[in-house]
Each structure stands twice: as C-alpha cells, then as structure tokens.
Amino acid sequence: MAGEDKKQQPFDSKAASSLVAELRGAFASGTTRSYQWRESQLRGLLRMTDEHEQDIVAALRSDLGKPELESVLYEAAMLRNSCKFALKELQRWMMPEKVKTSLTTFPSSAEIVSEPLGVVLIISAWNYPYLLSLDPVVGAIAAGNAVVLKPSEIAPATSALLAKLLGEYMDSSSIRVVEGAVPETTALLEQKWDKIFYTGNGRVGRIVMAAAAKHLTPVVLELGGKSPVVVDSGINLQIACRRIIVGKWGNNNGQACIASDYIITTKDLAPKLVRLPYPHVLVFSLYGVVSCTLPYLFQVDVLKNELETFYGKNPLESKDLSRIVNSDHFTRLTKLLDEDKVSKKVVYGGERDPTKLQIAPTILLDVPRDSLIMNEEIFGPLLPILTVDKLEESFDIINSGAKPLAAYIFTNDKKLKEHFVNNVSAGGLVVNDTTVHLAVHALPFGGVGESGIGAYHGKFSFDAFSHKKAVVYRSFMGDAAIRYPPYTNGKLRLMKALLGGSILGILRALFGRS
Amino acid sequence: METRGDLEVQLKGMREYYRGGNTRGASWRKSQLRGLCRLLEEREAEMNAALEFDLGKHPVEAYRDEIGGLIKSANYALGCLKGWMSAKKAKLPLAAALTTAEIIPEPLGLVLIISSWNFPFGLSLEPLIGALAAGNVVVLKPSEVAPRCSSLLANVLPAYLDPKAIKVVEGGPAVSEQLVKQKWDKILFTGSARVGRIVMAAAANHLTPVTLEFGGKCPAVLDSLSSSWDREVAVQRIVGSKFSACAGQACIAIDYVIVEKKFSSTLLELMKVRIGKMLGENPRESRSMARIVNKHHFLRLKTLLEDPNVKASIVYGGSMDEKSLFIEPTILLDPPLESDLMQDEIFGPLLPIITLKKIEDSINFINSRPKPLALYVFTHNDSLRKRMVAETSSGSVTFNDAMIQYMADTLPFGGIGESGMGNYHGKFSFDTFSHHKAVLRRSFLVDFWFRFPPWNDHKLQLFRSVYLFDYLGMLLTVLGLKKSKQG
C-alpha cells in the first residue's frame, strides 16, 4: 500500500500529516489496545520472518553483501526471538503493577497501569536494516501503539521488502511503512508523534530530538560511539582474539554500533597480538625478556593467525565478510586509512577493492590520538591498537572521551574487572567477550551521553513505548478534615505524625499530647 | 550576577569533582540526604517565613504541601538507598552457561534542576533528593518569581550540603537561558509547556535526556453519590484541595469539575457551605489561603473573568483585591467552553463547574482535550472506574480524592503529552537521575565452537538449535543425526 502511494506522489508534509491523522483515528478506535490485536500482529511478524527468510537473506546480500549466516542469525533469528519473548510475556507485561501504599495516603490502594502512547514513529538504520526496523516495532506493538516505520534508504532492497511484507502481513490500518530519504524523513519529523524511536548517528539524533521538542514528543535515541576493548595479560589470548574478531568483522564487517572500535592494551602485550616490524621486535623482545618470554615465543600474532583462520589468506575474496555499504562510506574509511600520520601504522591488511566496495580486515598499531581514525566512530573493518604502560591508564583514556554504546574488557584479574565495571561509563559492558549482550532480553540495550537516550529489548521495549500511569484508589473514610483549613495546632501535629509515618506519633497527636 | 565565563569555570570544577569519584559512595549520598533532613528541621521557621512572604502560605499549608513531604521523601530515600544502589541480577537462559548478567545503576554526572515558583521548596528539593541519592553533582535554579525562597535556598544549601557538589544559581529567564545552553548529563524542569519546549530544544544540542513536569487542565469528575457522607467528603476534598493549596496555583490542582446537570445545584450549595466552614466569612482575613504570586498572574486571572460570558457564569465569589493580590474562592457554572478560562490552565482560585447530561459523557469531554497531569474521579460505580482508567489518558488517575497522589513514594509522578515527559518521586527519582548500565560477564571456559567463521550449513543448523534453546536438536546435529535445513 505504502509502496504504491510512493510511486504516485511525493511523500510531503501534507501526506505525512494525513497519514498521522489516519493512524490517530485507528488508535482512537481502540483496535490496537486489545491483547488479541497485539498478539496477532506479533504472530504476523513471526510468520513473515519464517516464511520469507530467504527473501530477507537475499535483500541483505544485495544491500550489504551480508553472509547468509549473519543474516539468519543476527537479523532473522534475533527478530524471531524478540517476537517469541514478547508473545510469552505479553499478558504479564499488560497487567497493572500493584504497589504498596504507606501511612501518608492511608487508606488507599494503588497500581501502575501501562498504557500505549498512541502513534509512534520508528526510524531505523542501514546496517541491520531488518532487525533494527522490526525489533522496535515489536515493542511498539506489544505496548499497543499504532506505528509508522521509516527504514533506511541506504539499504533499499530491505526497505522495499519491509514495505511489501508489512503491507501483506500486518494490520495496515495501524502499521505503515514510509520509504524514502531526507525529504520524507523531514516531512515525518514535522508531525506530532507520541514517541519517536531513532537508530543512527549523533548528528541526525540531534535533529530528531530538536524536531521532537517542538511537540514535546519523548524520544529513544540509539546512537553509537567508539566502543573500546581493553585486553589484559594472563588470559587465553586465542579465545579473546576470536571473540574480538567475530564481534568486529563477523558483525557486518565492523559496521555495527557495538562492534569493537579499537583495542587498548599494554606495550608488553601488543606484540603478542600482532607481530611488529623488525626493529620494534628487538626493542620489545628485550622488554619482554623481563616479563614473559616463553608465552611471547609461542603466542605471537594471535590476532593475525585467527583472522587468517577465519577469512583466509585473501580476505577480499572471503564470502564471510559483508562489503562496505556504499561508496560514501568506502571513501570515508579509506580516508581514515590513508591519513599521513596513520598510513604507516598498518600492521595487517589494508588491502581494498573499490569495485567490490571491499576493505580487508586491517589492524593498525599505535595510531596518534589526534588522528581522524581515533576521533570518529570507525564503523568499518579497521581496528587500531593503542598501547599504554599500565592497563589502568586505559580507563582514563576511555572516560576522557564521549561515553560509548559499549565497552569491553578481557581479563582474569578480579580487581581490574571490578574497577572497570564500576568506573567505565558506557551503555553496556561485557567482560571477556564482545557484543553478545545484544542478545540478552533481560538487559536494557541503550546508550548514555553521546551514545544515546533510553533503552529497549525485552520488557524494556514494552516500557519504552508505554506510559506508566499512576492510579490511586481512595475510600471516603478517613482524614479529610485535618488536611484543610481552618488550620489548628492540633491538625498540624496530626499531620506531622501522619507524614512521619509513626503510629505512636499519630496516637499522641490524636489524644492531644505534642 | 555571574558571567558566562564564571559559570563555565564553576561547571568544569563540578565535573572534575564528580570525576574524582567523590559523590559515588553510599556514605556521601547519605550524608547529603541527612543534611537535607537537618535543614528541613532546623530551618522550618525561615522556610515558613519565606513562603509567607512570597506566596502568603500558612505554615500548616507549607508543612502539608512542602516541608512535611520533603522530610518524608528524604527519609524514604535514606531507608531505600542501599537497595536502589545495588546491582540487579538479570535472568539468563541455560544456553548462557557460566555467564552472569546484571544491571548496575550509575550516576549520570552533572545535572540541572529548574524549579517553579508555586512550591518553591518542594519542587526544588524533591528532585534534589533523587539527584543526590543517585550520586550526581547538581546545579539548582530556583524560580525568581519566589525570590525569598530562592535566596533562602542559595544561602542555606551550602551550609548543609557539599558545596563542591551542589550549587544554587539564582536569576531570571536570562540566567535560565544561559544555563540550558550548557552541556548537562540530565535536566529536570518543572514549569510551563512553552518554556519546556525551549529547554528540550536546548537539550537536543547536547543529546541531554530530560524530565519535563508541566501541568494542564486537571478535571475532577463527580459522579452521583448516594450517601450524603460521601458527598460531603467529596466536596470537602475538591474544595479543600483546590483553594487551600497555593490558592489553586498548582500543576495538579483541580482545574474544573464535571458533574451531571441534575446535581449541579446540590453541588454548588455543598461547595458554598464548605468554603464558608474552611475560610470563614472573610477568606482574606482568615489568612488560610495563599495569595496570587504576582501582579502579572493576578491580571491574567482578572482578565479571564472579564470576558462578559464568563462573568455572567460566576455563581460564588469573584471579588479581587489587587493591592493584596488576593482573589477569593470563585465558582462558575457552565462558563463558555471556548473562553480562555476553559482553554488555558487556570492556575488560580477559580473553579468552573461544567455540567453534562450523563456522567459517562465526561470521557469524551476529557479525551477531546490535551492530556492533563492528573484526573480525579469521585464515584462508586465500578464500571465507570474501569472505563476512566482504560479510556482516558493522563499522568495519573486518583479516585475519590485529589492531589494526594503527590505524597505516594511508590507511584511515578509525571505527565504525558502536553503535561510532560518522564517522572520522579521515590525510586523513580533515583532512576530518572541514573544510567542503568547493562553488564555481562563471560567465562573463557565455555563457548560454542561454531560461533566463528568460516561459515557453513552445519554451523548454521547448530545456531538455529541454540536460538530455539533446542538443546536436544543441538546434540543431534553435533552427533550428525540431524540434517541441516534446506535454505
């Protein structure tokens, strides 16, 4: 339906306004509030994903060159799990939450009722275009809202597929897709929504929030940042490197908001991750003699070895790596690589193929802190390694920058672990792994500071799209007289006792003693 | 008056103090909350005097609405702090063996609280309790429209709280404008929706999360009550809460009453009697009712009543004294719905009674207007109760009383739509000033070997089983007894 409209006329402010009015009418009719409707829509999403998995895989291959396994696991399967979890919990989530009331409001009972916000706008990103469009939709539907979804135009095949499939499987009186780019998004942002959920970058996030401010629309902004990985010594380096690799290049070739952006490790440990050019080897091996020579001899180049195991000697040819999404991002990434102060720091990879829009997994060592690559979110297959003398310095480095969406540490040192967990601020932290917290329904997924506002996943999705309404039930018995004029000292004493919550105080006040 | 340079230096100092970890520990937070408790105890007389000066509030009203509530909230926070600060374990499925997950609350950092003039202590210190309990450093900007209260806060807070972590900045709109342009980790604003938009737009530049507390036209729906006792109590609560809490200048004050036409005259009589009992023959002399805060608001309210059609609907009260900024309790019967009185938030001691044919019609009436901060319904009718909760939207709903929801520590206090976003009070205050950080800890010992490339169908099949938590299927696949699904 939405796809057809697009061909006929441009989606401008007027079209956006009438779309919102239509959905408000649908919401006002109460359709989306019933358990039956929410359940049927969630089942629809599930069926849609099951029945069209291959179409999804094909669209993702077209848009991103995404390997089938990544598409199936990180997009389709995760979305399915999201639907299933919501279906399992929906009745419980919809129930009012009874709360205790105290002496100050005695006698009374109270509860918190979750109600839908109304008509919500979800704007998604291009890197996980299926998941990041529909995972928020799961929350919006579970909470009983009407939804407009605006998928990213940078992943056009997936955008078109979503428009087609949602039109077929979902209740189009309350759930719609609007395709398009900046003009369409602008038209949508001019309207009054009851919530806007945006996944993308901080620059556009500011634009979204400013537009929302005009209508006092609450927002969830899922942004990004430079997610660091701190690597300590005394760990199983092979496992650590595998986890870092699959979290970085195994996630859309590094184009993921929670992919490891850069590594921080000690000057000692760096040579174990990647072999250094000869002169450095001499210097560090002398240094290393003092610390741990034997492991050094046997565990050098761990990162490189594992990368080769995963992607072969010719990673540009590997079918298990997504390509760079488009030439803009390709240019951006090669600029990061080719900056003067950085180009000589490449210790592995660096190959690129502009015709295939592919850049090989690339590791850089000791890039200067003021380089471009260390001052923007990389969002690609380049992994700088920063070295420090003592690992504790890494926390200051991380905390001196903008708070990232995720931060990771590999260590067996209990004290270091706790120091990290308590002192590094990020959306989420993982110890001894990367990115996997995304799949845990019980954890809120969202940023802080520059990495975002709000969170979702699991019940947090339901809450993000709900209004928590306080409901108090009072009886006609009780205290009315003391609260109001004419004011007397006796009333004041009784009131102090009531607010103080002390039964003895109340008795004293009632019987005239102060 | 501070210059912009001064302000930026101060904020930088506060951020450094925060980064030094000084505000993180439970003992610091408790000491601040205890400091507030001591302040409320020791300075009650001065606070009463300031409220009397700025708003003409009676000390009992001051205690009931502000000081008493703050003591309650500070003690509540002290009692709950340990639980609020502790990490919450999150449940994981069996497939995630040797993995633990938890949610750890951490402070946001440097936060800004902008408060309003009508409950100048309550609306400044209630958010402050939450911000301090959550371990933040705080700048508080009290309203200049209540100047004595503002300067009292500026003078006493440094004596009771850590002056490196809590600063009071006084001033008017120009100062507020300066403040909101800075980078904050959170802003909590109480005031009008108009200014709220400006605050949120400024916050957008820094991606600062906001909690905005506005007001709205909070309706009270009065159903037919068969017992005369219930009718008396209902009227007492309606009239008492409207006129005795800052003379109706409250975000959760009953703005107007809806009643069935056939009861309007009964209601009116009951109200007149009750007002008389509460405030006597001469309400101004009783000194039990606050005055209008300033000339600007006095003239605003006066203008509302000057509309001839509105004036004609006055059935009680209506007299005003500009010199003492006093307006007596005024009741209107069915003023025109298009009048400013019925379009804008009244925020004063004028109480319109709107009559409808059937009480159920009030649902559509309420829904055709912006969502209010509070909805009050006086009824015994269970089905009307259910319909009110299910079919209307407001920050909160209170049955058979008014304004009391403000004192409940376990309920979120906040609006929706034009009445605000976000909430606070009790644990909600702590949460609104915290970042809930997800933490996942994994072991090196366990992993799915098929997690890593190069990919093949076998690995894919294994993953499918894992995602379904189909452990048997996984085992069969590993043993080669289950074939991969065809794509």
Of B417, B447, B470, the last residue of a domain is B417
CB-CB neighbors (< 8 A) of B185 in chain A: 449
Radius of gyration of chain A from Cα atoms?
27
Q: What is the mean pLDDT of residues A65-90?
A: 95
The pLDDT of B83-102, averaged and rounded, is 86
Q: How far is CA A142 from the centre of its chain?
A: 19
Instruction: Indicate the residue of A223, A320, A472 with minimum beta-carbon distance to B453.
Output: A320
Q: Which residues of A touch B375 (CB under 8 A)?
A: none
CA distance A341 to chain B (A): 30
Instruction: Tell me how close the Cα of A109 comes to any Cα of chain B, in angstroms.
Output: 10
pLDDT at B1 over 50: no
Q: At what angle do helices B68-85 and B26-42 cross, to 10 degrees?
A: 170
Q: Are residues B227 and B374 in the same domain?
A: yes
> B310: distance to nearest CA of chain A, Å?
28
Q: Given B354, B383, B417, which residue is the final one in a domain?
A: B417
What chain B residue is nearest to A451 in terms of C-alpha separation?
B207
Would B304 be classed as within a structural domain? Answer: yes
Is B393 in contact with A235 (Cβ distance < 8 A)? no
Mean pLDDT of A129-139: 98
Question: DSSP states of A92-133 as a string?
Answer: HHHS-EEE---GGG-SEEEEEEEEE-SEEEEE--SSSTTHHH
Strands B330-333 and B350-356: parallel
Nearest residue in A to B440, CA atom? A430
- Can you tell me the ipTM of this complex? 0.94
Are the beta carbons of A101 and B408 separated by less than 8 Å? yes
A351 pLDDT higher than 80: yes
Question: Total structural domains in chain B?
Answer: 2
- B234 and A194 within 8 Å at the Cβ level: the answer is no
Output the pLDDT for position A479: 63
**Three-class secondary structure of residue A324 per DSSP:** coil
Per-residue model confidence as pLDDT tens digits over B7-47: 999 999 999 999 999 999 999 999 999 999 999 999 999 99
Which residue from B59, B106, B396 is facing A469, i.e. has the nearest CB?
B396
Three-state secondary structure string covering chain B: CCCHHHHHHHHHHHHHHHHCCCCCCHHHHHHHHHHHHHHHHHCHHHHHHHHHHHHCCCHHHHHHHHHHHHHHHHHHHHHHHHHHHCCEEECCCCCCCCCEEEEEEEECCEEEEECCCCCCCHHHHHHHHHHHHCCCEEEEECCCCCHHHHHHHHHHHHHHCCCCCEEECCCCHHHHHHHHHCCCCEEEEECCHHHHHHHHHHHHCCCCCEEEECCCCEEEEECCCCCHHHHHHHHHHHHHHHHHCHHHCCCCCEEEEEEEHHHHHHHHHHHHHHHHHHHCCCHHHHCCCCCCCCHHHHHHHHHHHHCHHHHHCEEECCCEECCCCEECCEEEECCCCCCHHHHCCCCCCEEEEEEECCCCHHHHHHHCCCCCCEEEEECCCHHHHHHHHHHCCCCEEEECCCCHHHHCCCCCECCCHHHEECCECHHHHHHHCEEEEEEEECCCCCCCHHHCCCCCHHHHHHHHHHHCCCHHHHHHHHCCCCCCCCC
Helix (H, G, I), strand (E, B) or coil at A44: helix
Residues B287 and B151 in one domain: no
Instruction: Give the domain CATH number at B235.
Output: 3.40.309.10
Question: Can you give the pTM of this predicted structure?
Answer: 0.94
Residue B300's nearest CA partner among B235, B347, B253 is B347
- Residue A36 predicted with pLDDT over 70: yes
The reply to whether residue A440 touches residue B389, judged by beta carbons under 8 angstroms, is no
Chain A residue with CA closest to B418: the answer is: A216
Choose from B373, B433, B440 for mutation: most chain A CBs within 10 A.
Answer: B440
Q: Which residue, among A429, A471, A477, A492, would best test binding to B if mutated, counting the most B CBs under 10 Å from its CB?
A: A471
- Boundary-marking domain end, from B357, B385, B417: B417
Q: What is the CATH number of domain A228-278+289-445?
A: 3.40.309.10
% of residues, chain A, pLDDT over 90:
80
Here the CATH number for the domain that contains residue B139 is 3.40.605.10
A430·B439 Cβ contact <8 A: yes
DSSP per-residue letters across A224-256 = ----EEEE-SSS-HHHHHHHHHHHHTTTGGG-S
Give me the pLDDT at residue B485, please: 47
Chain A nearest CA to B451, separation (Å): 8
**Full domain range(s) for residue B126:** 4-214+424-437
Is it true that domain A13-223+460-468 has CATH number 3.40.50.1110? no
Same domain for B53 and B29: yes
pLDDT digits (tens, 9 = 90+) for A440-465: 999 999 999 999 999 999 999 999 99
Contacts A81 to B, Cβ<8 Å? 467
Å between B309 CA and nearest CA of chain A: 32
Q: Which residue has the tokens 């480095």?
A: A397
Determine whether the interchain pair B408/A472 forms a contact, defined as Cβ–Cβ distance below 8 Å.
yes
- Of B270, B219, B238, B226, nearest to B381 by C-alpha is B226
Tell me how crowded residue B347 is: count the other CB atoms within 10 A of its CB.
23
Does the residue B352 lie in any domain?
yes
Residue of A nearest to B21 (CA): A423
Same domain for B381 and B316? yes
Q: Which residue of B has its CA nearest to A485?
A: B278
The pLDDT of residue A54 is above 50: yes
Q: Which two tokens stand for residue B160?
A: 């009771």
**In chain A, where the domains are located:** 13-223+460-468, 228-278+289-445
How many Cβ contacts (< 8 angstroms) between chains A and B?
Answer: 283
Answer yes or no: do B455 and A68 touch at CB < 8 A.
yes
Among the listed residues A70, A184, A241, A257, the single catalytic one is A257
The Cα of A469 is separated from the nearest Cα of chain B by a number of Å equal to 5
Q: Which of A98, A227, A467, A475 to mutate to test the interface with B (most CBs of B within 10 A)?
A: A467
A70, A179, A222, A450: the active-site residue: A222
Considering only alpha carbons, which residue of chain B is nearest residue A215? B197
Q: Clarify whether residues B131 and B262 are in a common domain.
A: no
The number of residues making up chain B comes to 487
B213 classed as catalytic? yes
Query: Which of A418-432, B2-16, B269-283 bottoms out in mean pLDDT, i.e. has the lowest?
Result: B2-16
β-strand partners of B355: B259
Q: What is the mean pLDDT of chain A?
A: 91
Q: What is the pLDDT of residue A107?
A: 78
Q: What is the mean pLDDT of residues B403-426?
A: 96
Residues 6 or more apart whose Cβ sits within 8 Å of residue A440: A457, B90, B92, B96, B101, B438, B440
Do B310 and B364 have their domain in common? yes
